Chains A and B, each alone.
Chain A
């Protein structure tokens, strides 16, 4: 996983609540057996015209000012619905590494951090200020600093954010979750032996 430190990037705005994973990556693209190449299908049904190829100019992320954005600012309950990890894969493959919203669906939130996406939670007022700033100045760049846990914006709408220290450390160091867990493989084995004694039927059938 790539290390996440500090960057300055265009912040794109999707002023919608309840953006669900069916929209983030529609199911017709779930049939691949690889992890990469989903970015071109991100928000497919909103992003493209009926021909599925040409861009729909009405869709927010197709605005020229938002091209190359790494930060995505969106409304409440982002990433709800299906657990498909293709959603964060598509978001990351498209180029986003940061999402800012008031809230996320649990599974999606976990999946973001496993895929190098920093999902930042802000309160409703803060979100509104960020949305207003982007609307007034499309193409505006935010600085996201994970080490300091802060976002800085040109109009002074910057803020500090909370993040679980474990997630933060993994992101800063680009650490793989499985490797971290396998450091405790002896503890897992010991637990398993006890578990087998306590619930022998789990292994019998």
Chain B
């Protein structure tokens, strides 16, 4: 109890605001569609606003791409593929990608502010994670462009052609990098469709592609909503679809794409974070926090199900709740902020809906006592204890700062509970005993397993799921396969 008193006193210490300046974003008032190397007006001249979810105020107006605009972009990508990119040597493609990586680094601060304004994520994360990793992805895949014959897919791997890429709103710039870098390295041209609520960093990236003198049409960026994405999926001139987003939309895309197009899907998850009794609890608590509250829990691989061994469950939960109470929720531009704004009102509604089910089905709810700003979309960090496997909050992806805590007794039970999900994206295992960790890792049905860490990403490390979390990998040598005709 002494600890609790001390910590609550520490937690109550005021921080002076340390805001990054929003003006660093240098946003334009209005953006067109990036087609064939230049920003162009959509045929309908329809624009929509991208909001700052922390203030609900519009940041910029972006173009709504119709199926006709998508067609224009696909035609540009096809022309660029036939006339330019398929004839550009790997060495030259590599140098374009290295250039893009450098330009991202040069404009890192601006990109971080844009990302935080548009998405609502803390500047600490966009600055230290999203933007550096985006640059790193271009650096990594740049080096592959002239080494594809050594990548293990046969002596002369060919590109697929025109890739349609649909990305989510949780890591807008990083997902654009994950999609574009391997596609370009492998020799494809791209039509990228950013998420409706977070189009801005991709449009800054379009400026960067101009600065890099990337040949026109090699990358086209069409902003819009679900109808834009559907037009891209249905377009007969697209050879490959790469999608990151929800399992429900992924299912529709797989149905529509049939087998006429190559397809890779990075979908939802309900990651189990498994804590054994011998794990160092302080590190575990930080790992649990990173696992579920990183990026407001808007992470497909979030560790949203905590499976803790019964013998230490009370202790872990006690320390976890104390830590949750200390998370600083608020202005995403403030460098001290831990948890930012929920990306949209629609997402906030979904989080509220599912958490209300948590209480309705009998779980015990703990909500952080943090104050929430009046304007904007906010959800206080929340932990549910006494959760059983049949509860909706244990089965469905909430995609928000909400953790469900379950317990187990034996490693077998931990594995069985972790695998009791239609998803299979990521899991965490916390134990000092390496043999047990690897035993568990071997049995988990998941594409990524973090042992004594969570939510780590690297361009060299393949990422992706099994079962209804999708198929295909992004990152590493494996990530090339999605963009090669092999």
A binds B: no
